Structure 1
Amino acid sequence: METFYNILQCSPSASTEEIKANYQRLVKEYHPDKGSQTADRFLLIDKAYKTLKDQQSRRDYDSSLLANRCNEHSLIYAQLNKKDVHLDSEGKAYYPCRCGEQFVIEQEHLYEVECVIECNECSNSILIEQ
């Protein structure tokens, strides 16, 4: 699957400045004035940049990418918001799984932008988001 990051030839960890620089370079290369065969690519580059230049739309896009990856490999049983996770004195929280076991959420999971935790007994997972 080609992502907006692939289209702009940068990594998901690229800074806004890197994304902008790649966009400007690619727009010059694929501008419709260069030939009709590049018009579709030009529009795709523009769409990718409009999505990734804004921090909120980039977060939303990254979330959808993560959800797609997770859904390909496991079943998302629940989605939790970080603010709803309350750690105990040992730095852990527990969430019940459909199979009867519990997901163990540790403090380090909450440092990530998004985190997928798998059940130890079945194929279910939970997604923790901001």
Structure 2
Amino acid sequence: MTVSVCCPILSTTSLPKRNPTNPTVFHQCSILRRMSSTCPVDGIVFCDAAQETNPTTMQVEFFNAAGAVVRTVTGAPPSLVVNVYCVNGAWHVRTSPTATTTVPISTVSCAQTGSTGADRALIPGTAVN
């Protein structure tokens, strides 16, 4: 009989969010979400652009227990989606999109750059005194 070793359900405690390695360029106003099932064998990390910020680039960085970046994923907004895998009870990420090799991860950053806020006009007569 084979028994699988479960990973903890993906959460703010099992895979906490941390600052990106370049916080002067990438800002953490983006939204990090994690999804997995009970006794998960895999999960998904989502990085969504903050509402009404219109960023130019999104970035997810995965860090090992020593704090070193083990994988960086960048792409166009509004979202990045990265699969993570449970290996012997610990969360891992592939070393590249097509790799079969995985590395353990402890924290994750979700950030965006080039953000510009919305510019809206008010409709006359809708203001309240």
Which is strand-richer, 1 or 2?
A: 2
Tell me which protein shows more helix as a share of its residues: 1
Same fold (TM over 0.5): no
> Per the shorter chain, which TM-score range?
under 0.3
Which structure has more relative contact order (CA 8 Å, sep 6+)? It is 2
- Bigger Rg, structure 1 or 2: 1
Normalised by the length of structure 2, the TM-score is: 0.24
